[in-house]
Amino acid sequence: GAGVSQSPSNKVTEKGKDVELRCDPISGHTALYWYRQSLGQGLEFLIYFQGNSAPDKSGLPSDRFSAERTGGSVSTLTIQRTQQEDSAVYLCASSLPGQISVYGYTFGSGTRLTVV
Amino acid sequence: DQQVKQNSPSLSVQEGRISILNCDYTNSMFDYFLWYKKYPAEGPTFLISISSIKDKNEDGRFTVFLNKSAKHLSLHIVPSQPGDSAVYFCAASAVSNYQLIWGAGTKLIIKP
């Protein structure tokens, strides 16, 4: 597609339920990132995928968070047993490797997750 | 420990005047700095970047200045327009790293 696509755009869930957030990166972009932005905060790195390499999961806040990327394209971020502190905007971004420093990433519009 | 800091949560500027957004960093290994702009309900979009070997980069109404000795950069918008009202994020990277380190953002409001 022309841009990074994320779905759903909004998700309200009850505390304790599991949620899945989807990201469809720009075709050909081998690097894919998940970030989250809590209210009034900057962007918090969650996880990074690059091609077929093992992902960098160092930003995942707990073992309730997991992500996968199938076929080097679409990625799913799963949050199990959601807590209220998980409420945030979850942003996906993609890029071509080697261009990050100069051009940064291309972001999707995000999924606003509200845990009630 | 915040490696990239944007100390002003918000800034209000009259239309037509200059907007100056500031960013400080602590890590001397950073060698690229980027500014992103974010509208509500949209993802951040890339605006302009600067390499640490430069002290200025200009693109139309947008100019980024880098002061390495002070570990400080600023984004100047001249003249400011209503469409510039958005949240501006400063980000930094080291070539050896694939991550961008982000500031908390500054909300710019352009008054008519």
Q: How far apart are CA A81 and CA A44, in angstroms?
A: 20
Q: How far apart are CA A60 and CA A66, in angstroms?
A: 8
Please count the residue pairs, one from chain A and one from chain B, whose beta carbons lie less than 8 angstroms apart. 60
Contacts of A71 (CB under 8 A, 6+ apart): none
All residues of chain A having their beta carbon less than 8 Å from the beta carbon of residue B46 are: 103-106
Residue type, A59: G
Local confidence band at A32 (pLDDT 50, 70, 90 cut-offs): very high
Looking at residue A70, its pLDDT comes to 84
- Cβ–Cβ contacts within 10 Å for residue A113, how many? 21
> Would you call A82 exposed, middle or buried from its count of C-beta atoms within 10 A (0-12, 13-18, 19+)?
buried
Q: Which two tokens stand for residue A6?
A: 């994320």
Local confidence band at A53 (pLDDT 50, 70, 90 cut-offs): confident
All residues of chain A having their beta carbon less than 8 Å from the beta carbon of residue B10 are: none
Q: Which two tokens stand for residue A58?
A: 């160092």
The stretch B29-56 carries a mean pLDDT of: 93
Which residue, A93, A85, A92, is CA-closest to A39? A85
Looking at residue B1, its pLDDT comes to 66
Does B103 have pLDDT greater than 80? yes
Looking at residue B52, its pLDDT comes to 92
The stretch B75-98 carries a mean pLDDT of: 91
The stretch B12-32 carries a mean pLDDT of: 96
Looking at residue A1, its pLDDT comes to 53
Looking at residue A42, its pLDDT comes to 79
Does B101 have pLDDT greater than 70? yes
The stretch B46-56 carries a mean pLDDT of: 94
Which residue, B62, B69, B70, is CA-closest to B108? B62
- Cβ–Cβ contacts within 10 Å for residue B45, how many? 13
Looking at residue A105, its pLDDT comes to 86
All residues of chain A having their beta carbon less than 8 Å from the beta carbon of residue B105 are: 42
CB A78 within 8 Å of CB A46: no
Residue type, B98: Y
B98 with A103: Cβ contact below 8 A: no
